[in-house]
Amino acid sequence: MKLSLGWPRTLASRLSLIFLISLVLAHGLSFGLQFYERYQSAMTLMLGNLERDLSNAVAVLERLPADERESWLPRFESANCRYILGAGENGAPMNMSNAPMSVHSMQRSLGRDYALTFTDIPDTRLHYQAHLTLRDGSPLTIDMHPRVTPLSPWLPLLLIGQLVLLFACTWLAVRTAIRPLTRLSHAVDNLDPNGEGIRLDESGPTEVAFAAVAFNTMQQRISTYVKERMQLLAAISHDLQTPITRMKLRAEFMDDGVEKDKLWSDLSEMQHLVQEGVAYARSMDTSTETARRVDMDSFLDSLVFDYQDVSRDVQLNGKTGAVIDTRPHALRRVLVNLTDNALKFGGAAEIQVIAHPDQSLSLQVLDRGPGIAEGELSEVLKPFYRVESSRNRDTGGTGLGLAIAQQLTIALGGTLTLTNREGGGLCAELKLPARITTGAVQITDL
pLDDT digits (tens, 9 = 90+) for 156-191: 777 788 888 888 888 888 887 777 777 777 777 777
Average pLDDT, the chain: 78
Structural fold of domain 190-285: Helix Hairpins (1.10.287)
pLDDT at 424 over 70: yes
Portion of the chain with pLDDT greater than 70, in percent: 84
pLDDT tens for residues 289-346?
677 888 888 888 899 898 888 888 889 888 877 788 888 888 888 898 899 888 988 8
DSSP state string for 350-363: EEEEEE-TTS-EEE
pLDDT of residue 150: 55
Rounded to 5 degrees, what angle do the CA atoms 346, 351, 355 make? 145
pLDDT of residue 438: 42
Provide mean pLDDT across the span 359-379: 85
**All structural domains of the chain with their residue ranges:** 11-144, 190-285, 288-432
What is the rounded distance in angstroms from the CA atom of residue 62 to the CA atom of residue 69?
A: 9
Query: Strand, coil or helix: what is 92?
Result: strand
pLDDT of residue 388: 57
What is the rounded distance in angstroms from the CA atom of residue 230 to the CA atom of residue 226?
A: 6
> Is the full-model pTM beyond 0.95?
no
Query: Which amino acid type is present at position 322?
Result: A
What is the rounded distance in angstroms from the CA atom of residue 446 to the CA atom of residue 310?
A: 16
pLDDT of residue 443: 40
pLDDT at 90 over 60: yes
Question: Class assignment of domain 288-432?
Answer: alpha beta
Rounded to 5 degrees, what angle do the CA atoms 394, 395, 399 make? 95
Most confident of 31-45, 224-238, 267-281: 31-45
pLDDT at 118 over 60: yes
Bridge partners of 432?
Answer: 361
- The CATH code belonging to domain 11-144 is 3.30.450
* Whether the domain at 11-144 and the domain at 288-432 fall into the same CATH topology: no
Which residues lie closer than 8 Å to 145 by C-beta, 6 or more apart?
Answer: 79, 80, 81, 123, 125, 126, 127
Provide mean pLDDT across the span 356-365: 84
Query: Which amino acid type is present at position 186?
Result: H
Name the pLDDT band for 390 (thresholds 50, 70, 90): very low
pLDDT of residue 337: 87
pLDDT of residue 389: 44
Query: Strand, coil or helix: what is 168?
Result: helix
